[in-house]
Amino acid sequence: MRNDDDSLRFLLSGGRLPGSAHDRIVARVVPRRWARLRSWRWVLASTLVAGMATAGLMLVPVLRHGFTAEPWRAAKGGGAGASLNARCPTHATGTCGPGDRLVFEAHGSHEPALLAAYADGPAGERFWYFPAADGHLASVPAHEGIVLAREIGRIGEDWPPGRYAVHLFLLSRPTDRAALLAGQAAIQAKAVVTVSVVP
Amino acid sequence: MDGALLESFRRGDRLALERVYSLHVREVEERVRTVLIRLGRLTAADLADLIQEAFLRAFSDRARAQYDGQRDYGPFLIAIARNVVVDWSRRAGREVPVPDIIEWFAEQVGEQPEPAPFDPALLAHTEAYVAGLPPELRAVHHARFVLGLPQRPAAEAIGISRQSLRTLEKKLLRGFRQHLRRTDASTGAPPPRQLTISARPVGAPEGRLTVAQRR
């Protein structure tokens, strides 16, 4: 059946490779992330490091603040399986500097989607990324792995240092700010990521 | 290749490799295809295998490290593809002088008139089917069969989900199969067990593509 379909596709393409053939070639020539773990030592080392890191991350907030939930551990992917993140590529995870680019990532976004995002500052002020003032939402292409939204944000030059809660929403349909805040948007997944803006 | 893409490409980042593939695959495909047509060996399987092998070599750690980023990547990749085809020809024991293959590869795409890869009557039936498609299926045909886009960019280009694209593509193929059967029946000849699509041989009379009909 596969050969039969391939032949029909080849004919429909006028003797060139159809998109389905390119799908298969790309899957074979572009390595997946796990393929890079070429030895058991890598796997073992990664597992140990990940375990230690997880234990540390769970312990630190407890030691600092007792058992209150840390915003950066807020549920990612509260919707249909996709997880969301925001980060400044030029800084360590969770930190940004004034004027930095802020990229938005989705993992497991199997369908093209839209992204809404805003940040709540340390003094309670709110900074909207998307929908922008003209209503524009960021777009997230469908992808099996991690994919970046096509649009990027920026940390304001005048934003005071402190902790910002960046609220992210993956949407299946366009929406406006009011509907988003009222919980009336078609939300596929949501997350809250804490970003510390450092001078 | 710009600086950011080059850096990601050298690291072997998936998105960068996909980008480089989409930027260059058409040129590689046209040149490999030209050689296969002239050898009378154009089949979907051989064309896909050779392109895949060329990119596997080009995306290897060693080849990525060898590319200096100073010159265009296209000629570097074409040289790899040419070596792949030469190796394949030698393995297959073809009586084709290597200098001929090298010369065919060196030709600019479109420099020589291209012989039709299939029987003209079959091409006419195909064109008639495509011309009669409703708009949504014609958009799928254009994205997947004319532009040869992978699923994700094809779905984005049309503005539909990947699942919808898959569904429409299946419908397109099913309709095409039925169209070929009807066309065959209209000749008055009893429908054969197999529909044979003969590639037009150029230089060698052995290129054939067989489409088995479902019964």
Q: Is residue A191 part of a domain?
A: yes
Mean pLDDT calculated for residue range A48-67: 49
Domains of chain B, each with CATH number or no CATH: 3-106 (1.10.1740.10), 123-191 (1.10.10.10)
A61 plus A138 within the same structural domain:
no
Domain that holds residue A145: 71-197
Set of chain B residues whose Cβ sits within 8 Å of the Cβ of A173: none
A160: its two tokens: 């005071």
How much is the mean pLDDT over chain A? 75
A145 plus A106 within the same structural domain:
yes
Q: Is residue A15 part of a domain?
A: no
A95 plus A188 within the same structural domain:
yes
A106 plus A139 within the same structural domain:
yes
A39 plus A126 within the same structural domain:
no
Distance CA B63, CA B75 (A): 13
Mean pLDDT calculated for residue range A55-78: 39
A108 plus A141 within the same structural domain:
yes
Q: Is residue A131 part of a domain?
A: yes
- B51 and A25 within 8 Å at the Cβ level: the answer is yes
Q: Is residue A111 part of a domain?
A: yes
Q: pLDDT tens-digit profile of A12-31? A: 998 889 988 988 898 888 86
Helix (H) or strand (E) holding A118: strand A113-120
Q: Which of A44, A65, A86 is where one domain is finished?
A: A65
Structural domain total, chain A = 2
Nearest in space to A32 (alpha carbons), one of A150, A148, A149, A146: A146
Tens-binned pLDDT, residue by residue, of chain B (215 aa)? 777 888 889 888 888 898 899 889 988 998 898 888 888 888 888 899 999 999 999 999 889 988 888 888 998 999 999 999 988 888 776 666 777 777 777 776 555 666 667 778 888 889 999 999 999 999 999 999 988 888 888 888 889 999 999 999 999 999 999 998 887 655 544 333 333 333 333 333 333 333 333 33
Q: What is the three-class DSSP state of A154?
A: strand
CATH number reported for the structural domain that contains residue A87 in this entry = 2.60.40.1930
A170 plus A103 within the same structural domain:
yes
- How far away is chain B from the Cα of A60, in angstroms, using its nearest Cα? 33
Among A24, A25, A110, the strongest candidate for a mutation testing the B interface, having the largest count of B CBs within 10 A, is A25
The predicted model scores a pTM of 0.52
Contacts of A54 (CB under 8 A, 6+ apart): none
A138 plus A83 within the same structural domain:
yes
- A8 and B17 within 8 Å at the Cβ level: the answer is no
Set of chain A residues whose Cβ sits within 8 Å of the Cβ of B151: 19-20, 23
Q: pLDDT tens-digit profile of B178-198? A: 998 887 655 544 333 333 333
Q: Is residue A126 part of a domain?
A: yes
A101 plus A183 within the same structural domain:
yes
